[in-house]
C-alpha cells in the first residue's frame, strides 16, 4: 500500500491491472510455481551460509578461549564480518579487533577454514595484543600457531580461487595478447582511455572475455 501525495488517497498498486489470463502458471497450477525450485535452492544456500557463519563464530570464540587459558590473558572475542572478496581467505584488523572472512571461499573450503584459517587470523590478534606491531608472519605469530593452537604455520592458503578471480578481458596488439581488468576494459568501452603495447606501440583492441 502507498499514499498518493497529491490526492491524499490510498493507492492500491497493481489492483486489477493483471488479469488471470496473464498470470503464468506452472505444472502445479499455482501462479509462478516455476520459480519454486529456484527459491528453494536460494533458501537452502542461505541456510547453509548461516550455519557456516555460526560455526566460524563459535570457532573464533573457541580459539580466543584457548589462548586466554594458555597465556593467562583476558582477550575479548573480536567482531566478525563475512565481507572479503577476491582471493583473500581471511584478514585481521588489529587495532579495530575485527576478523574478516571470505564467504565464497568459506563455503567452498569450510573444513579448512575451521581448522586453519580461523586460528591463523586469531593468532594475528593475539600477537598484536601481546607484542604490538611486529612482522605479520614473524617468529611471534609462528610461535602462537605452534604452541597455542598446535598448528603448523602456513602464511598463505592453497584454495582453488577460480570462482573468485576477477573477470579479465583479452586484448590484442600487433605482437601479442594480454588481459585487461574490468576497470580498464570499461574505460576503453566508454572511450575514456586507450592502451598501447609497450613493445610494438600498437593500440590494444578487444577480442574476447575470459573468466
Q: What is the pLDDT of residue 38?
A: 56
Domain edges within the chain: 45-148, 168-210
Q: What is the pLDDT of residue 41?
A: 55
Q: What is the pLDDT of residue 10?
A: 42
Question: Which one from 62, 108, 116, 121 is the annotated catalytic residue?
Answer: 121
pLDDT by residue for the chain (211 residues), tens only, comes to 444 444 444 434 344 443 444 434 444 455 555 555 555 555 556 667 789 999 999 999 999 999 999 999 999 999 999 998 888 899 999 999 999 999 988 988 999 999 999 999 999 999 999 999 999 899 999 999 999 999 999 888 888 887 777 777 888 888 888 888 777 888 888 888 888 888 888 899 898 654 4
Q: What is the pLDDT of residue 57?
A: 95
Residue 182 CB partners (closer than 8 Å, separation 6+): 166, 167, 168, 169
The verdict on whether 108 is a catalytic residue reads no
Residue 124 marked in a binding site: yes
User: Strand 168-172's sheet: what is its strand order?
Assistant: 177-181, 168-172, 205-210
Nearest to 116 by CA among 61, 156, 165: 156
Q: What is the pTM for the complete model shown?
A: 0.62
Q: Which CATH class is domain 45-148?
A: alpha beta
Q: How far apart are CA 85 and CA 166, in angstroms?
A: 10
Reported residue count of the chain is 211
Amino acid at each position: 500500500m502507498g499514499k498518493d501525495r497529491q490526492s491524499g488517497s490510498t493507492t492500491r498498486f497493481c489492483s486489477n491491472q493483471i488479469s488471470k489470463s496473464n498470470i503464468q502458471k506452472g505444472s502445479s497450477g499455482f501462479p509462478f510455481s516455476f520459480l519454486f525450485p529456484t527459491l528453494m535452492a536460494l533458501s537452502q544456500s542461505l541456510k547453509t551460509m548461516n550455519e557456516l557463519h555460526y560455526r566460524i563464530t563459535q570457532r573464533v570464540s573457541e580459539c580466543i578461549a584457548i589462548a586466554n587459558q594458555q597465556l593467562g590473558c583476558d582477550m575479548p572475542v573480536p567482531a566478525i564480518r563475512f565481507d572479503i572478496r577476491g582471493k583473500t581467505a581471511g584478514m585481521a584488523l588489529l587495532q579495530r579487533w575485527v576478523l574478516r572472512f571470505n564467504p565464497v571461499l568459506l563455503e567452498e573450503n569450510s573444513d579448512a577454514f575451521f581448522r586453519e584459517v580461523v586460528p591463523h587470523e586469531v593468532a594475528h590478534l593475539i600477537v598484536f595484543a601481546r607484542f604490538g606491531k611486529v612482522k605479520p608472519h614473524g617468529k611471534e605469530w609462528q610461535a602462537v600457531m605452534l604452541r597455542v593452537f598446535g598448528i603448523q604455520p602456513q602464511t598463505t592458503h592453497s584454495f582453488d580461487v577460480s570462482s573468485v578471480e576477477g573477470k579479465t578481458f583479452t586484448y590484442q596488439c600487433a605482437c601479442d595478447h594480454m588481459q585487461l581488468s574490468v576497470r580498464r576494459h570499461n574505460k576503453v568501452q566508454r572511450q575514456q582511455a586507450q592502451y598501447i603495447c609497450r613493445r610494438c606501440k600498437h593500440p590494444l583492441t578487444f577480442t574476447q572475455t575470459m573468466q
